[in-house]
């Protein structure tokens, strides 16, 4: 039977090979040699995932030198074929009109219901992806070991995974079972962001004074229903402090002394972002935020923030801190991008740009 199946595969007569393998299976259902040739049939008919699983199983189950050698050879052929197909697909993706434009690929967490599903549960094609399936896809697409792939799938929010040509990152996003999305750097640069100086009215429709990137002042009135998303975060404020080091020597270190509170309102209908910051808001101007004049700015800010969160039904993204810690490593790889935040710092901080990236990625992926 082996000779006949091998001959059918040699001449690519897959119908004959299938018939012979069915007969062989009926005669010797537990034959590992039969399973080896079944894997070869799957490989030649481009069912590579099935063939790969069978070859791997044979390596664990068989003690035959012949079967082990041929299973390893089959796995190597499949790996070569997959790498070639991937390289060709990437080249085609990069060849599109804007395929070479620099872009960000972000991987998002699974919906709660999906992340708590058992990885062994049977799924239909329309069922939510399990966490294990998402991890497996990350490992396969990026050639990572299971442990590293697991670290790449966030438990909440989203994280930047890599930078690269738009065509390439789009290809990766499409191949992943995990939620993923892309944004071009040119999009992030061109997103209009206005810094709010103060509100002149909060009810019934907010009216605010803001400035653009050139420092020009203007007024914007909007309906709370126009706001699709609210993005909030805390940016660390660093100060130089003196500590005692070894042998009582004074050592100057940079430590976090406080945090700046930032709140973005996304108005996609106007293609703008309104950015508020507790350290930049002019509390002495505009609408009174409290009937008690002597309240400090922190209390006034918290009151304004609470009012906006209650008045606006848009999605609230507040997972910035976890995003920021992992995003810092990508900042040196980016071209110059204005953070659109005029914090008075002793020295520039990448945290300002990281928040701008976080808010921009939320803006360009409204389905989060």
- Are residues 217 and 242 located together in one domain of the fold? yes
| Residue ranges of the chain with per-residue pLDDT less than 50 | 114-126
Q: Is 162:105 a contact under the CB 8 Å cutoff? A: yes
Same domain, 331 and 303: yes
CA distance 146 to 133: 11
Note the pTM of the prediction, 2 decimals: 0.79
Asked whether residue 339 falls in the same domain as residue 200, the answer is yes
Q: Residue 264 is part of which domain span?
A: 191-364
Please indicate, yes or no, whether residues 76 and 202 belong to a single structural domain of this protein.
Answer: no
Alpha helix positions (H), the chain: 2-10, 14-27, 32-44, 48-61, 65-94, 112-115, 131-142, 146-152, 166-175, 185-190, 297-311, 320-327, 350-364
The two three-digit tokens of residue 22, written as one number: 């069915």
Cα 363 to Cα 138, 335, 360, distances in angstroms? 24, 20, 5
Structure tokens at 245: 């080091």
| Size of the chain in residues | 368
Assess contact for 278 and 301: CB atoms under 8 A: yes
Tokens representing 99 are 């395929």
- pLDDT at site 207: 97
pLDDT on residue 294:
66
- Look up residue 91 and give its two tokens: 């080249």
Q: Work out how many domains the chain is built from and give that number.
A: 3
CA 21 to chain centroid:
45
Residues 161 and 38 in one domain: no
If asked whether residues 208 and 221 sit together in one domain, one would say yes
- The answer to whether residues 166 and 263 belong to one domain is no
């Amino acid at each position: 039977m082996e000779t006949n199946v091998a001959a059918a595969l040699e001449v690519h007569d897959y119908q004959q090979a299938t018939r012979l393998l069915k007969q062989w299976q009926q005669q010797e259902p537990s034959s590992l040699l039969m399973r080896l040739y079944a894997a070869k049939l799957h490989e030649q008919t481009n069912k590579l995932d099935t063939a790969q699983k069978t070859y791997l199983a044979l390596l664990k189950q068989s003690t035959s030198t012949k079967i082990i050698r041929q299973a390893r050879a089959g796995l190597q052929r499949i790996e070569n074929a997959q790498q070639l197909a991937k390289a060709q697909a990437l080249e085609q993706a990069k060849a599109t009109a804007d395929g070479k434009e620099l872009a960000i690929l972000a991987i998002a967490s699974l919906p709660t219901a999906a992340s708590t599903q058992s990885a062994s549960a049977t799924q239909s094609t329309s069922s939510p992806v399990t966490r294990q399936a998402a991890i497996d896809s990350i490992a396969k697409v990026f050639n990572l070991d299971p442990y590293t792939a697991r670290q790449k799938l966030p438990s909440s929010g989203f994280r930047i995974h890599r930078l690269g040509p738009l065509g390439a990152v789009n290809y990766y996003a499409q191949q992943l079972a995990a939620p993923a999305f892309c944004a071009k750097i040119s999009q992030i640069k061109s997103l209009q962001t206005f810094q709010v100086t103060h509100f002149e009215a909060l009810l019934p429709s907010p009216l605010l004074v803001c400035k653009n990137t050139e420092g020009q002042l203007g007024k914007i009135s909007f309906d709370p229903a126009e706001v699709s998303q609210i993005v909030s975060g805390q940016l660390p404020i660093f100060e130089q402090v003196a500590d005692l080091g070894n042998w009582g020597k004074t050592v100057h270190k940079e430590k976090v002394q406080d945090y700046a509170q930032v709140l973005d309102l996304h108005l996609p209908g106007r293609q703008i972002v309104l950015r508020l910051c507790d350290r930049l808001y002019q509390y002495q101007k505009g609408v009174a935020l409290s009937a008690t004049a002597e309240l400090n700015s922190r209390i006034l800010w918290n009151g304004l923030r609470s009012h906006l969160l209650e008045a606006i039904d848009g999605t609230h993204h507040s997972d910035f801190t976890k995003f920021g810690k992992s995003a810092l490593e990508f900042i040196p790889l980016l071209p110059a991008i204005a953070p659109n935040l005029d914090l008075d710092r002793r020295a520039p901080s990448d945290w300002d740009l990281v928040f701008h990236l976080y808010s921009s990625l939320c803006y360009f992926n409204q389905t989060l």
